[in-house]
Structure 1
């Protein structure tokens, strides 16, 4: 797992198209530029330009041993995993970080949406093997950190298997290979205490508004009582 803490790298990946290319490379491993362009539905020249920008910042690398002739170029992601440093102080760096994260979230959403649209076209055994799940847990921050460690431990051997296949010098069979994605988001929601504070605040505002609304009626009652006493 490589930490990305270089602002220039973040800026390179604020391009939606580059994020798409990087995501494809990250998932499918070594691939020719022509095949990458086909999967991205883009011109090979355009793809080559963006690959050069990413390669300049160490995000992708060439795999010359897979080339069958001088015209064929194979590339792959240079990172087997990555994590973003989130404690930037400079506004420019924070903006670049937010742009990267936004593109990453968009990429994940689009992949899930595409799967839901096309999954019935998959062979039956692949449809049955895929799954999705959502759970809402009440955990402390320590328990949440422990859960994240346990999930990463479960995924570790599968990541290593994937890395060994990606780094293999054998030319992959693009016609038969399929890509599997494991997406886990272990995130805290707003705390109950904060939610209760917001609820109390809203209740207090509602009560003040109700009191203001009833004030004319109370004033009328007071004046009526004063008249009767006189």
Structure 2
């Protein structure tokens, strides 16, 4: 189902800093892919103490990445979910940030790269085991800068058109990792 919201750029240094912590990223990924959880269940799955996961959940909540589910929470047990907001979330250009923001952005990019490498290392096994859900393509072409920008926007429109939020997902829908990156080939 298409998401009409335009792109949102995470350009606030404090939000970037919140995303630059490895455990916070794992918590956010877990909530996004597997749905609501408590600090206790997250701690068990991620191999962390409840106190540690509670602290990082509060940090993610503070910067608007997750929210408590009041109707599921009771007493000291608090349930959390990823905020559904716009699906088109982007990182800012480094030159648009102050030095602290650039450092946080560099860490967010570094962590994202490490996560992408971990996913890539799973590709051969997943392709052999789960071909219906594991798709891959390698491409090479020539584009203008403007054409590449248009291609990127069209790709994001396709993600919005064919993707679903956790709440909208029809039966049989699964969370799927999708990555797109482009690099100039004449600098190899």
TM over 0.5: yes
Distance in 2 between the 1:28 and 1:177 partners?
Answer: 12
Task: Extract unaligned runs of 5+ from structure 2.
Answer: 1-6
Asked whether the 8 Å contact 1:80–1:163 carries over to 2, the reply is no
1:132 partnered with 2:136: yes
Distance 1:136 1:156, change over 3 A: same
Q: What are the within-5 Å matches in structure 2 for residues 67-216 of structure 1?
A: 67=73, 69-78=74-83, 79-81=85-87, 82-86=89-93, 87-114=95-122, 116=124, 119=126, 126-159=130-163, 161-165=164-168, 178-185=174-181, 187-189=182-184, 192=186
Distance 1:98 1:139, change over 3 A: same
Asked whether the 8 Å contact 1:3–1:84 carries over to 2, the reply is yes
Task: Extract unaligned runs of 5+ from structure 1.
Answer: 167-175, 196-230
Structure 1 SS opposite 2:67 = strand
Distance in 2 between the 1:114 and 1:35 partners?
Answer: 25
Structure 1 SS opposite 2:132 = helix
Instruction: Specify the alignment match of 1:17 in structure 2.
Output: 23
Shift of the alpha carbon at 1:6? 0.9
Shift of the alpha carbon at 1:51? 0.8
Shift of the alpha carbon at 1:40? 1.8
Distance in 1 between the 2:133 and 2:25 partners?
Answer: 27
State the TM-score, normalized to the length of structure 1. 0.65
Distance in 2 between the 1:40 and 1:177 partners?
Answer: 24
More helix, by proportion: 1
Instruction: Specify the alignment match of 1:226 in structure 2.
Output: none
Structure 2 SS opposite 1:76 = strand
Structure 1 SS opposite 2:71 = helix
Distance in 1 between the 2:128 and 2:42 partners?
Answer: 22
Root-mean-square deviation (CA), in Å? 3.0
Structure 1 SS opposite 2:175 = coil
User: Deviations 1:24-66 (Å, cap 9, x if unpaired)?
Assistant: 2233332333332233222222111111112112221111223
Distance 1:177 1:147, change over 3 A: closer
